[in-house]
Amino acid sequence: MSLLLILVLTNLLAPLAGLLGRRAGRDAGWPIAAVLLALAAGLVSAWNGRTDPAGVSEAVPWMPTLGISFHLRLDGLGLFFGLLVLVIGAVVIAYSARYLGRGRHAAFYSLMTFFAAAMLGLVLADDVVLLFVMWEFTTLCSFLLIARSGPHARDPAIRTFLVTFAGGLCLLAAAVAMWVATGTTRLSEILVDDVWSTSPGLAAFVAVLIALAAFTKSAQFPFHAWLPDAMVAITPVSAYLHAAAMVKAGIYLMLRFSTALSEVPVWNVLLVSVGLFTALMGAVFALQRHDLKELLAYSTVSQLGFLTATIGIGTSYAVVGAVVHVAAHALFKSALFMSLGVIDHQAGSRDIRRLSGLARTMPVTAVVMTLAAVSMAGLPPLFGFVSKEAMFKAMAENPGPPAAVWLVGAVAVLAASFTFAYSARMVVTIFPGRPAEDPPKEASAAFLAPVALVSVAGLALGLAGVLAEPLLGAASAAVAGPDAEPHLGLWHGFAPELYMSLAVFALGGALVLARRRMDLLLDRELSPVTGVGAVEAFRNGSVALGERVGDLTRTDAPYRHLVPPVVVLVLLTVVGVATVDVPPLHGDVTEPLDWILLGVVLVGVLLALGVRSRIALVTIIGVVASPWRCGSSSSARPTWR
């Protein structure tokens, strides 16, 4: 199946989804999900089991005068992320068919499917200009999906837009720099160009820009605040944004550019340091939260930090570890968000202090959410354990100095221990015990089926990881070469990653046993500055600065508008005459009429600067223009023009 056709059909699905949402209401989620799964099957058929790292490539002329084409390419990494976008998108939209209330939902379904189309275009783009365009479409879709949640969502949506748009500007600057340096906008050619080894300064510059762009989308410190802030959106939006779409765009960008930047020191240092700090910070903040949705939001920040740090290691197996954890995270995080949506829908609360005994009244929900939480905690035999071990192995094999390897490993173990603690905190708080006086009832089978599907998939892949090896191996090989082969299993012998996992279980278990003391210890503000406050201060400062700048010209007086450009032109003339060899005047400069006309123009300009009447200004401008016309046509010879 043609890549272009798949992308076009995905985009056409957006208006169709809106029409279905208007006609069929929330039940439109079922046929939309079916179409997304069919498109995922089409993507697999386009790949057709190939092992060629070049993948499938298609191009349509777009801006031929600039050498820019609508170039699409499907390699292992694009296939993996494309399936992630379409399959998880289908699951979340099917879940929405019972989460949403009765009524019309045209805007929701239309925006969700267009978001899927933008993400699919992003991972298939083989042109840096097209990549940037699709990147900005994901920013726009996330803004609209968050903003439509109600009046209270306006400010969070704006803050999210500001942060991610800033990352888009960094990506644009990187795209222009790469285009100028390599002479092409074709992404696959840029990544293998010699410029990365012959121009270390350019490589470092682009590495920083790409990292900043990815950090804004994947919620890395100090750009992390938008993700918890976006929790005002409804649960299906959160599940899709945080499991397969918005945040995975940043991870995809880092993985894609690892081909060229894995040996650039600033890239490695920036990703590892920021990623580990974000992983630890997010985990601590998650332990502070009592709202399940906020807890999962900060856990997403933490897990994305793990992924960023792993990618920053730069080795072939680091790519494998990151790819495996992307898959595991998509499964357990989508299951957790949808599970809490079921609990909120049935119990009317997300506060873990008000929920207890749900295992008795909502046993199926308890089972599927526990499976997902155990996977996030990294316990066997769930897929999260396999992916965590893969990341630990990559960190233990870090080619850096021994002291750095030990430091990276220690911080990773500490952050993973906190992950264990907040994962267990959800389960041991809300499911055991006695139910409330008016206990919630179990949700319908149609409501729970999508949640159970992804939750059980995490268990199945943990027990039989070999089933995922072809796809995850193709994704890893597309970035790090054929040597990047995942060997997914629960037992790899007595290796460093096993000892790191045992340390996590021991420390995490101790934190769970001491959870009451931990709650008292963390029940305070850990920083005088919040991320949301910083973004809001930047926003207010930008508005105030704009008002001050606008005040300079917010007047009808002509001289206030004319003086600045005249002064600038005079200064440029003075600088030019003083620093540049001025060529001789063109034509005969002894004609008296030309000098008289030039004098009239000069007088007219001076008068225009001082006049306050619009009518007088228009009249003077008309008079000033006449000498130029007279001078340019007074004779056949060249004159002042």
**What pLDDT was estimated at residue 368?**
94
Q: Which two tokens stand for residue 355?
A: 């929920």
Contact 305, 220 (CB under 8 A): yes
Rg, C-alpha atoms of the chain: 30
- What is the DSSP annotation of 538-600? HHHHHHHHHHHHHHHH-S--HHHHHHHHHHHHHHHHHHHHHHS-PPPPSS----HHHHHHHHH
**How far, in whole angstroms, is CA 327 from its chain's centroid?**
17
CB atoms within 10 A of CB 552: 9
CB atoms within 10 A of CB 146: 27
- Tell me which residue of 588, 607, 606, 598 sits closest to 626, measured CA to CA: 598
- Tell me which residue of 154, 155, 161 sits closest to 138, measured CA to CA: 161
**What pLDDT was estimated at residue 349?**
87
Residue type, 428: V
First to last CA, the chain: 61
User: What are the 10-residue block averages of pLDDT along the chain, 641 residues in total?
Assistant: 90 93 91 95 83 71 82 92 94 93 89 94 94 93 88 87 92 94 92 91 95 94 88 89 83 94 92 95 92 92 95 92 94 93 89 88 93 94 94 89 91 95 91 81 91 94 90 90 83 88 93 83 75 79 83 70 81 81 66 78 78 75 67 46 38
**What pLDDT was estimated at residue 637?**
45
Provide the strand spans (E) within 194-236.
Answer: none
Q: Which two tokens stand for residue 260?
A: 């060229």
Contact 372, 332 (CB under 8 A): yes
Q: What is the C-alpha separation between 559 and 225, in angstroms, rounded? A: 45
Q: What is the C-alpha separation between 323 and 326, in angstroms, rounded? A: 5
**Residue 471 CB-half CA count within 13 A:** 18
Q: What is the 3-state secondary structure (H, E, C) of 132-187?
A: HHHHHHHHHHHHHHHHCCCHHHHHHHHHHHHHHHHHHHHHHHHHHHHHHHHCCCEH
Task: State pTM to two decimals.
Answer: 0.86
**What pLDDT was estimated at residue 49?**
59
- Tell me which residue of 457, 426, 424 sits closest to 294, measured CA to CA: 426
* 3-class secondary structure, 68: strand
Phi, psi of 496 (to 5 degrees): -55, -35
311 to 85, 259, 327: CA distances (angstroms): 20, 11, 15
**What pLDDT was estimated at residue 582?**
65
Phi, psi of 350 (to 5 degrees): -120, 5
* Domain residue ranges in the chain: 557-633
Residue type, 214: A
**What pLDDT was estimated at residue 135?**
94
* 3-class secondary structure, 127: strand
Q: Which two tokens stand for residue 140?
A: 């726009």
Q: What is the C-alpha separation between 194 and 634, in angstroms, rounded? A: 58
Q: Which two tokens stand for residue 576?
A: 């030019």
**What pLDDT was estimated at residue 589?**
65
**What pLDDT was estimated at residue 175?**
95
Residue type, 511: L
Return the DSSP state at 465.
Answer: G
